[in-house]
């Protein structure tokens, strides 16, 4: 088998957000949303990102999209630090890394017809300017996402949730990006529609060899789309590896807990495990919730340890 081409990699990315400021605006307290996170995205492959609310999934997506800057660490695009790209290379980066968000309602301009929404990137990047050309291009894009031609002249409010998400996907692929960060792209949809949208993602990946960072609360959805999975907890990657290995033989007690909270197989979002905010000063952040905890966990450095060639976990029990 050929080794897949690495497109984007994060290297020990940390992100701190100021949460409390003194009277003169000086930051008194910081919140660590990401702790030394390293992930790789390969051409034509999907990395699924799971973990409960607040674990840092969206933050990682934003850093890859360069909407947020890391406090520490870096993002490499085809081996090069994105901070070192020149103007034109950076423009290419922004074109090559696109996003699809959870709520198509808020991500689509309500005053624009679909042809204008779906071709926005083509306009911004000066690829087409003429209305007739854009409409023609819009027609092609709609066909790629399996929407009928009459959708071209509709407004977002005239579309169903699934149709809106197809438009958002069409807009994301318009510039044939190398990477799509999909942040809970099916979570706002009915279960029956979720499967269709998942299939569309798979079909487009097959066609264009796009790489996805696919964030989802739904383990069945992640299982369906991902080649590999990373599990996040309190800003750490606690486990990662080939999808089946991680989901059938979880090694970190947190992953086990997350998988056990799965409500059947119908693809509903897993309920939040009891929100326990307590995190020890050092060591494993899962300590207080872990049924297998030991004293040594409080001095564990959270490094990912190799279990098999394609499976790693950050737990002293590994």
Ligand X SMILES: Nc1ncnc2c1ncn2[C@@H]1O[C@H](COP(=O)(O)OP(=O)(O)OP(=O)(O)O)[C@@H](O)[C@H]1O
Contact residues toward ligand X (CB under 6 A) are 17, 19, 31, 33, 51, 53-59
Contact predicate 179/168, CB 8 Å: no
Partner in contact with 299, chosen from Mg ion, ligand X, none, beta carbon below 5 to 8 Å by kind: none
The three-state secondary structure class of 286 is coil
Comparing CB distances to ligand X, the nearer of 277 and 303 is: 277
Residue 199 contact among ligand X, Mg ion, none, beta carbon within 5 to 8 Å by kind = none
Q: 252 near 86, Cβ under 8 Å?
A: no
CB of 182 to ligand X, least distance (A): 13
Alpha helices in 182-252 (DSSP H): 191-208, 219-225, 243-248
- Least separation in angstroms between residue 268's CB and ligand X is 15
Reported in sequence order, the residue ranges of 54-143 that DSSP labels E, i.e. its strands, are 72-77, 80-81, 97-100
Query: Least distance from C-beta 270 to ligand X, angstroms?
Result: 11
Burial class (CB in 10 A: 0-12, 13-18, 19+), 86: exposed
Find the shortest distance in angstroms from Cβ 118 to Mg ion.
25
Binding site for Mg ion (CB under 5 A): 58
> Of the two residues 115 and 254, which places its CB atom closer to ligand X in the complex?
254
> Which residue is associated with the tokens 């020890």?
280
CB of 15 to ligand X, least distance (A): 8
Q: 53 contacts which partner out of ligand X, Mg ion, none, CB within 5 to 8 A by kind?
A: ligand X
Residue 96 tokens, joined: 């090559």
Helix axes 191-208, 161-173, angle to 10 degrees: 20
At closest approach, how far in Å is the CB of 28 from ligand X?
Answer: 14
Measured distance CA(172)–CA(202) in Å, rounded: 14
Closer to ligand X by Cβ: residue 59 or 194: 59
Residue 4, binding choice from Mg ion, ligand X, none, Cβ under 5 to 8 Å by partner class: none
Q: Which does 17 bind (CB under 5 to 8 A by kind): ligand X, Mg ion, none?
A: ligand X
Partner in contact with 186, chosen from Mg ion, ligand X, none, beta carbon below 5 to 8 Å by kind:
none
Complex with ligand X: residue 115 or 233, whichever CB lies closer: 233
For Mg ion, the closer of residues 59 and 119 by Cβ is: 59
The dihedral built from the CA positions of residue 70, 87, 5 and 202, taken in this order, carries a sign that is positive
- Evaluate whether 262 touches 219 at the Cβ level (below 8 Å): yes
**Nearest CB to ligand X, comparing residues 70 and 138:** 70
Q: Furthest-apart CA pair in the chain: how many Å?
A: 68
How, if at all, do strands 311-313 and 305-308 pair? Answer: antiparallel
């Amino acid at each position: 088998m050929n080794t897949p081409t690495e497109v984007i990699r994060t290297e020990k990315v940390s992100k701190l957000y100021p949460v409390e400021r003194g009277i003169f605006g000086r930051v008194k307290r910081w919140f660590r949303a990401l702790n030394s996170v390293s992930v790789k995205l390969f051409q034509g492959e999907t990395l699924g990102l799971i973990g409960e609310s607040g674990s840092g999934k969206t933050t990682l997506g934003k850093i890859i999209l360069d909407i947020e800057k890391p406090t520490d660490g870096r993002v490499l695009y085809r081996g090069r630090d994105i901070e070192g790209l020149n103007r034109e290379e950076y423009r290419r980066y922004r074109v090559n890394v696109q996003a699809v968000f959870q709520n198509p309602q808020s991500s689509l301009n309500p005053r624009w017809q679909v042809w204008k929404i779906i071709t926005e990137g083509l306009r911004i990047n000066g690829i087409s300017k003429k209305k007739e050309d854009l409409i023609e291009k819009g027609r092609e894009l709609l066909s790629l996402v399996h929407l009928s031609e009459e959708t071209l002249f509709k407004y977002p409010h005239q579309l169903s949730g699934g149709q809106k998400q197809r438009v958002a996907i069409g807009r994301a692929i318009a510039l044939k990006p190398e990477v799509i960060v999909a942040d809970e792209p099916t979570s706002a949809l009915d279960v029956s529609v979720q499967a269709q949208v998942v299939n569309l993602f798979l079909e487009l990946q097959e066609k264009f060899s796009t790489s996805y960072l696919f964030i989802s609360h739904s383990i069945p959805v992640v299982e369906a789309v991902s080649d590999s999975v990373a599990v996040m907890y309190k800003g750490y990657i606690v486990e990662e590896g080939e999808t089946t290995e991680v989901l059938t033989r979880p090694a970190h007690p947190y992953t086990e807990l997350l998988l056990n909270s799965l409500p059947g197989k119908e693809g509903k979002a897993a309920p939040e495990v009891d929100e326990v905010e307590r995190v020890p000063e050092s060591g494993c952040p899962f300590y207080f919730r872990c049924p297998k905890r030991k004293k040594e966990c409080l001095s564990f450095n959270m490094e990912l340890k190799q279990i098999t060639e394609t499976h790693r976990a950050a737990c002293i029990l590994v």
